[in-house]
């Protein structure tokens, strides 16, 4: 695989991971943000959201690196 294709694959994987992290975070957002008889919990936005997006990116890039490693070992045989 060429360097440009490999770089494009990594960027695409990162974007998909960020979207997946955002989608997973948004499930049940209202319940976490508005507590019963309390004001809004702003830590949901400044703590949970970046961690969910970065976690999605990390997991997807780790999976992509694993696939690339397995693919390179198979082509070396």
Tens of pLDDT, residue by residue over 34-66, are 776 678 888 888 888 999 999 999 999 999 989
Do the Cβ atoms of 52 and 21 come closer than 8 Å?
yes
Alpha helices in 1-77 (DSSP H): 3-26, 29-33, 43, 49-76
Q: What is the largest CA-CA distance in the chain?
A: 64
The pair of structure tokens assigned to 10 is 């990594």
Do the Cβ atoms of 25 and 52 come closer than 8 Å?
yes
DSSP codes of every residue in 5-26: HHHHHHHHHHHHHHHHHHHHHH
Mean pLDDT is lowest, of 2-6, 27-31, 32-36, for 32-36
Check pLDDT > 80 for residue 1: no
Overall pTM > 0.85: no
């Amino acid at each position: 695989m060429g360097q440009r294709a490999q770089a494009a694959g990594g960027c695409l994987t990162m974007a998909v991971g960020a979207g997946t992290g955002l989608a997973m975070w948004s499930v049940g957002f209202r319940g976490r943000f508005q507590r019963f008889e309390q004001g809004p919990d702003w830590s949901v936005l400044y703590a949970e959201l970046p961690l969910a997006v970065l976690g999605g990116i990390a997991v997807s890039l780790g999976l992509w690196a694993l696939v690339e490693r397995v693919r390179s070992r198979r082509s070396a045989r």
